[in-house]
Amino acid sequence: MKKCFDAEKYLKIQKKKINQRIKMFDKLYIEFGGKLIDDQHAARTLPGFLPDLKIRLLQEFKDDAEIILCINANAIEKSKIRADHMISYETEVLRLIEFLRAHNLYVSSVVITLYDGQKKAKDFANRLKDYKIKTYFHTFTKGYPTDVDTIVSDEGYGANPYIETTKPLVIVSAPGPCSGKLATSLSQLYHESKRGINAGYAKFETFPVWSLPLKHPVNVAYEAATADLGDVNMIDHFHLDKYGVTAVNYNRDLETFPVLKEILTRITGKAIYYSPTDMGVNVIGECITDDKAVQRAAKNEIIRRYYRALTDLKKGAVTPEVPERIKLLMNELNISESDRTVALEADKKRQSSGNLPSACIQIGKNFIPGRKTDILSPISAAFLNTLKTINRIPDEVDLISPTVLKPILEIKNKTSNFKENYLKLGEVLIALSICSTTNPVVKKALESLDKLKDSELHSTHMISDDEMIILSNLGINATCGTEIDID
């Protein structure tokens, strides 16, 4: 895939932008929206943006920064799941702590927000003791969002415990949306002001990109990604009125800005920001090197989001309004499911295979299909066919030795609670790893897995969660139909 985003330029000018904001205050709290690590949406939408680019950015400030992680007590109580990794929000917090520490970044504390005695939240706080992390409980802010007098008082933000911080830059992040990052940041500003510290607030949001047009595919892709939250991109009329400059923000920030501006003015004693765009520090729009290529990538992402929304609807994870909304966005850009060529090729394989569940992988201009067999899932079949194709291995060569295959199938038959006597992708990878110790052809095939990164895959039937996670880890952009393979 052609790179159309300059990551090195981004690091350079983004660091400069944040340093400029830091110099305005004694201490700066930056609310980090989106994913702190594994930002696959940004990587897919802006080819050249690295999934962990934000970590590289934070490492530029590692001596002067600390990180606060927020998690909503209700998300813990309801065992809310991060869909891309199929792990709970609390597990994601622990994963973030370990990842950040491994990259020499200081996580000082975890804040459990909207706490109201939830037992699971209290249990999670006890788990955090093993990580030697300070845990704080914040409750709902009295008076929010309309009674500013109460909000900015000891009854409002003052009722929350002060989070001890020692660095001039404090990053406030979370495992997902609606985790209380803004309330935590503003609560800290209130406490800092009472201590005589000139603390400030800024917002780091990757999307929407304020400097791109409202209906630019990159910004529309953000709406598609947040269709379940109901976010809508809008012109920042506050920014336009103040500066005569058109900027894009999203509805929630625009709706809450008048109250937020008043709160910040009450806390700091002066007006600092005149628009939601003013609060932001992201410079991502300045680093796009090929707008046409970015537009194509963003349109492809919107279509993938539509397929995902349809499967989520089938699972009962979203309401019908979510795929309907994405479909409307597609109509605005004059794109449709038929623009996903790999899906058309997968369906062709299905039709030529007697309606068997099928899949197809696209690498560049090459389409490599596979169908379900007696021993392989359609994903596994397409995967093995792709390894053979890119390594020019003859079709008649078996990459998995029968001596390895037989015991795996036997143990599956003995331990499965339902009929599934075929190998899924994870099992195929294990079998290939075993065979690679004695077969140099298989070893070479496994060494070529990096060539699958940024490839496209579509399955005519729903992909299991475990296979979808592996595909994501391999860097394969996968979509599927909503039919269920019940055979």
DSSP string, 448-479: TGGGGTT-EEEEEEPPPHHHHHHHHHTT-EEE
Per-residue tokens: 54: 């934000």
pLDDT for the residue 86: 77
- Reading the block at residue 457, the tokens are 């895959």
| CB atoms inside a 10 Å sphere around CB 338 | 9
pLDDT of 427 reads: 92
Residues of the chain where predicted confidence (pLDDT) is lower than 50: none
Q: Is the pTM of this model over 0.95?
A: no
- Nearest in space to 123 (alpha carbons), one of 81, 173, 73, 181: 73
Report whether CATH 3.40.140.40 matches the domain 353-487: yes
Query: How far does CA 208 lie from the centroid of its chain?
Result: 14
Looking at the chain, which residues constitute the CATH 3.40.140.40 domain(s)?
A: 353-487
Rounded Cα gap, residues 50 and 261, in angstroms: 33
Beta bridge partners of 458: 360, 479
What pLDDT does 409 receive?
78
On whether the CB atoms of residues 197 and 27 are closer than 8 A, the answer is yes
**How far does Cα 332 stand from its chain's mean position?**
24
What fold, for 7-287? dip2346 fold like (3.10.630)
Q: Output the pLDDT for position 178.
A: 87
Compute CA distances 365 → 248, 307, 349, 362, 459, whole Å.
35, 22, 17, 7, 18
Q: Tell me the H-state helices in 60-213.
A: 73-77, 89-102, 119-128, 148-151, 181-194
- CATH 3.10.630.10 intervals, the chain: 7-287
Residue with tokens 């803004």: 182
In 3D space, the residue among 111, 158, 113, 117 whose CA is nearest the CA of residue 140 turns out to be 113
Sheet hosting strand 456-461, strand order edge to edge: 366-371, 358-363, 456-461, 477-483
Q: Are 458 and 360 in contact (CB under 8 A)?
A: yes
pLDDT for 413 equals 72
Beta bridge partners of 70: 111
Q: Which residue has the tokens 């992040």?
A: 173
pLDDT of residue 267: 94
